[in-house]
Amino acid sequence: MTSELTVDVKDFVLHLEQERRMSIHTVSAYQRDLNRCIVFMEEGDLSSWYGLKTKQIRLFIAQLNREGLSGRSIQRHLSSLRSFYRYLIREGKVLTNPAQVVQAPKVGKRLPSTLDVDQVTGLLDHVEQKSFLGCRDRAMMELFYSSGLRLAELARLDCRDIDLADKLVYVTGKGNKARVLPIGGEALKAIQIWLANRDKEGLFEAAALFITKGGGRLGVRSIQQRLNFWGKKQGLSDHVHPHRLRHAFASHMLEATGDLRAVQELLGHADISTTQVYTHVDFQHLAKVYDRAHPRAKNK
């Protein structure tokens, strides 16, 4: 590889590591993407970053596309180039960012896999509440499905965030945005059983809602592991994780109500397009809603 090109990339990598304090994995991804661009430049006899123009970057993106890279990977390559050129401008090595106006192929939005109502019911009912762990895990899983919480939201819940009388949970979501959510009857019952079990074990002074046997707050990794444990025990083929229960909550609510705005509020999404990605309605349900609602749907 041409020394001038690689030296600039090495300096950029040091900048990411030492000034921006990025993780090793992130820095490695930047370096791989830029080294791939260097190979393209050398094939085209380009020896400096100043000489790489928008036209060549479009050719580079087209080549990546022909090689079969996914739209997401191509977007990452382009993002790496944009960040790199912002650094070069700051260092006075180039005047403009030729990657800024280049667009990557659109990435199709993937729908997360979900569980149907029978699968969720079987999973939750399978968790017996005869032990400390069983009581806790059942309460966690019921609350995930009842209120559509994010993993981080559930992990940071304190006992004071649960209003048993009004059947509400007070949640702090992304960007420290607060929202109040209803708690379903089964979840409420499971939480009450869990709190009684905690008190019996002498752990009534712990502030966190979901705790270990030692009284410490249960971390996100441990929550993930417990859900996966129960999923495997139930014999579910796919990995059971918190987001699948959140997605099941959103999907089942939308299928039952058809109210996308209400589901958006419950999930805490700022943009309704995010809700559309996280929820899906099967066509048969949509057809029934259409037949019921559209004034000219049926033949007279």
Whole-angstrom distance, CA of residue 90 vs CA of residue 101: 19
Tokens of 45: 């006899």
Whole-angstrom distance, CA of residue 73 vs CA of residue 128: 44
Which residue among 136, 198, 252, 269 is the active-site one? 269
Which residue among 77, 138, 226, 246 is the active-site one? 246
Q: Taking every pair of C-alpha atoms in the chain, what is the biggest distance, in angstroms? A: 78
Whole-angstrom distance, CA of residue 114 vs CA of residue 245: 7
Tokens of 118: 């029978």
| 30 included as an active-site residue | no
Which residue among 136, 150, 198, 244 is the active-site one? 150
Question: Phi/psi class of residue 157: alpha, beta or left (left: φ > 0; alpha: ψ in -120 to 50)?
Answer: beta
Q: Kindly give, in sequence order, each residue whose CB lies less than 8 Å from that of residue 27, ignoring residues fewer than 6 positions away.
A: 13, 16, 17
| 298 included as an active-site residue | no
| 126 included as an active-site residue | no
Which residue among 15, 36, 86, 243 is the active-site one? 243
Phi, psi of 180, deg, nearest 5: -115, 130
| 200 included as an active-site residue | no
Give the DSSP H/E element, type plus range, for residue 188.
helix 185-200
| 294 included as an active-site residue | no
Strand partners, 170: 180
| 269 included as an active-site residue | yes
Which residue among 174, 177, 261, 300 is the active-site one? 174
Positions annotated as catalytic residues are 150, 174, 243, 246, 269, 278
